[in-house]
Amino acid sequence: MKISAWNVNSLKVRLPQVLDWLAAQQPDVLCLQETKLTDAQFPVEALRALGYHALFHGQPSYNGVAILSRATPVDPLCGWPDGDDSQARLCAASVGPLRVVNVYVPNGQSVASDKYAYKLAWLARLRAFLADELLRHPRLALLGDFNIAPTDMDVYDPGAWGEEVLCSPAERAALAGIHELGFHDSFRHLYPEARAWSWWDYRAAMFRRDLGLRIDLILVSSALLPVLGAAGIDREARRAERPSDHAPIWLDLGDLP
């Protein structure tokens, strides 16, 4: 089983690239962030033609998440369980033996910003949600754009970034709080020494110079550790004409009993 995630920065613009990537990589699951589409605009037919079901949760202009899967998504959730969908950043579904939670964590803008406070509150809410979700679904994969570089190893120039947003101690502590529930950063678990990025700023030729951050993650619950295979970041997709600023990330899971 291959699961994956990609912040596409507008599915309207990136649909051809997503279709190409699905056809080439054949993942069982692809979690999208920043679709920036309303549900009425979602390209259901183009994805169905490739053999993918779609669970989508969007809004106009901003945010928007979706889970594409070969198998039918079961027990779907769009937005928070209490019905708050003011920002479309969360969806979940069971796909085969796996519970898949897709997140687009708020960016936070800057540490002094109200949006940063919102980000921390959102992460606290996510932790509580996951604690509950884990009770019912021990085999849980949490994928998405976390907008947090977990450690300085995940930053091209930690000195320059310092404790700015994406790297601040409070954000990293919030992510650690999720790990305390029994989640593991699959890429870091498999490759403890790797320095690799999933996002490169559009500006200043950051991709050409390979100066980026690893802020897109696939976290797995402890029950999935025994079936962890390879993981990767598809830099080729970032090379495309009119690319997203994020690369797709993926993880192979072995057969689950």
Among 10, 25, 151, 222, binds DNA (CB under 7 A): 10
Q: Return the active site residues.
A: 104, 145
Output the smallest distance, CB 113 to DNA, in A. Answer: 8
- For residues 90 and 108, what is the distance between their CA atoms, to the nearest angstrom? 16
Q: Which is nearer to DNA, 133 or 145 (CB)?
A: 145
- Candidates 44-52, 123-131, 176-184, 197-205: pick the segment binding DNA (CB under 7 A): 197-205
Decide: is 203 part of the binding site for DNA (CB under 7 A).
yes
Number of alpha helices (DSSP H) and beta strands (DSSP E) in the chain: 7, 12
- Taking the C-alpha atoms of residue 21 and residue 222, their distance in angstroms, rounded to an integer, is 29
CB of 110 to DNA, least distance (A): 6
Q: State the nearest-atom distance from the C-beta of 63 to DNA, in Å.
A: 8
Helix residue ranges, H only, the chain: 11-25, 44-49, 114-136, 158-161, 169-180, 186-190, 235-238
Q: What part of residues 106-135 is at the interface with DNA (CB under 7 A)?
A: 106-107, 109-110, 115
User: What separation in angstroms does the CA of 243 have from each of 3, 40, 99, 109, 229?
Assistant: 21, 24, 29, 22, 28
Contacts of 42 by beta carbon, 8 Å cutoff, 6+ apart: 11, 35, 54, 56, 58, 66
Query: By CB under 7 A, what part of segment 64-103 binds DNA?
Result: none
Among residues 163 and 180, whose Cβ is nearest to DNA?
A: 163
Q: Does 208 bind DNA (CB under 7 A)?
A: no
Q: Does the footprint of DNA cover residue 168 (CB under 7 A)?
A: no
If one asks whether residue 191 binds DNA (CB under 7 A), the answer comes out as no
The encoded tokens of residue 219 equal 């976290």
Instruction: List b or e across 23-53, with b for residues whose CB sees 16 or more CB atoms inside 10 angstroms.
Output: eeeebbbbbbbbbbbeeeebbeeebeeeebb
The nearest distance, CB 13 to DNA, in angstroms, is 4
Site residues, DNA (CB under 7 A): 7, 9-10, 12-13, 34, 36, 60-62, 106-107, 109-110, 115, 145, 147, 165-166, 199, 201-204, 213, 215, 242, 245
